[in-house]
Structure 1
Amino acid sequence: MIHWIKKILGLARRERITTELIEQLPAHRLCRKYIDGELATDMESEVFDNIMCAVELHAEVVNGGFNQYYYNSGGERTERAENTFAKLGAMQIADVVKRANEQYAASRDELHSIWDGTKEGFSHGYKEKIFDAFDDEYYALMKNDKQLYTLIGTYIKQHPKDFLTQ
């Protein structure tokens, strides 16, 4: 309970990332601790930011599909998310993201002219079913959050030197 209170108040000391920690924790828990900021890491690093691109895409797509992802992100980090999934070894997911990115690029001008901040504008992509096939494929491949966390945690375990705390 005390640790939880310290965490809320920002007084909790983040745990160092060591070889032992990487080896001991199950992949999904290692990832959660990493992305939740419980581990001392450089949150400004490229590797952390790339992983967060994939986490952000996943969260948006699971919540409201690719339409919501592109609406909220403006497509700014789509290529990095795609590349991160490939780096994590999730080639099928990277392919779905790549094709969704291509569809977004082809539809960008139309969508941006309609996405005017209203519910109707936001719903246009859903009504036109622009991203439905990609949503279905993504959901079939990525069944739950734990699957993503395991992918990331496994990557950390395979590349520990990129994550160890000095």
Structure 2
Amino acid sequence: MNDLDFVLKRIDPWVEKYICAGPSALDPLEVVGVGVWMLEAEVNNGGFDQYYFNSAGDLALQTVEALKAIGAGNTASLLSAANAEFPGSVPPVNRAERQEALGRIRETVRFASLEAEFYRYEEDLLTLLASYLRAHAGDG
């Protein structure tokens, strides 16, 4: 089974759980899968602004650690830098509060330069995530 099919099969129920019950319903392995998957999907689709605006941003802080866990240190640094653009260097976990904060900082943040680095794809997040999930197949 290729990496994409493996990851999708593994995380589809986790994403559904996340959508229905929120981030607190996820166990640590599920946070890694959902966090990394949603980060890549949202940033590729609409940049960091979209990532934080949508529910994926609820996991912004945990996803930094998830990226480190799968071996994506460069991407973890990019997300940390994006997180630091928020007041207090922490994006609000609450989506409505995060959207409000995003509206206040949108004109001054450096998301464009961080996105340019992200789009260089120095780390293959899908391959790293698949390897991590395969190594933890018995977890969660």
Fold-level similarity (TM above 0.5): yes
The aligned length equals: 123
Higher Rg = 1
Structure 2 counterpart SS, 1:140 = coil
Cα deviation, 1:26-49, whole Å, max 9, x if unaligned, reads 333211211234xxxxx8433113
Give the aligned partner of residue 31 of structure 1.
7
Cα deviation, 1:104-151, whole Å, max 9, x if unaligned, reads 345869x72673xxxxx8xx72x54531111111111268xxx43222
| 1: CA distance, partners of 2:86 / 2:102 | 14
Residues 88 and 151, structure 1, Cα contact 8 Å, conserved in 2? yes
Give the aligned partner of residue 32 of structure 2.
50
| 2: CA distance, partners of 1:159 / 1:73 | 26
| 2: CA distance, partners of 1:30 / 1:114 | 34
Give the aligned partner of residue 70 of structure 1.
52
Are residue 159 (structure 1) and residue 136 (structure 2) matched? Answer: yes
Relative contact order (alpha carbons < 8 A, sep ≥ 6): 1 or 2 greater?
A: 1
| 2: CA distance, partners of 1:136 / 1:102 | 17
Give the aligned partner of residue 6 of structure 1.
none
Alignment gaps of 5+ in structure 1: 1-24, 38-42, 116-120
| 1: CA distance, partners of 2:131 / 2:6 | 9
Match of 1:36, as an amino acid? D
Residues 142 and 148, structure 1, Cα contact 8 Å, conserved in 2? no
Residues 39 and 56, structure 2, Cα contact 8 Å, conserved in 1? no
Alignment gaps of 5+ in structure 2: 14-24, 92-96
Percent of pairs with identical residues: 26
Residues 66 and 131, structure 1, Cα contact 8 Å, conserved in 2? yes
**How big is the shift at 1:75?**
4.2
| 1: CA distance, partners of 2:119 / 2:86 | 18
1:58-97 alignment, distance < 5 Å: 58-73=40-55, 75-97=57-79
Cα 1:28/1:114, change in 2 over 3 Å = closer
CA RMSD of aligned residues (A): 3.1
Give the aligned partner of residue 100 of structure 1.
82
TM-score by length of 1: 0.60
**How big is the shift at 1:73?**
3.6
TM-score by length of 2: 0.69
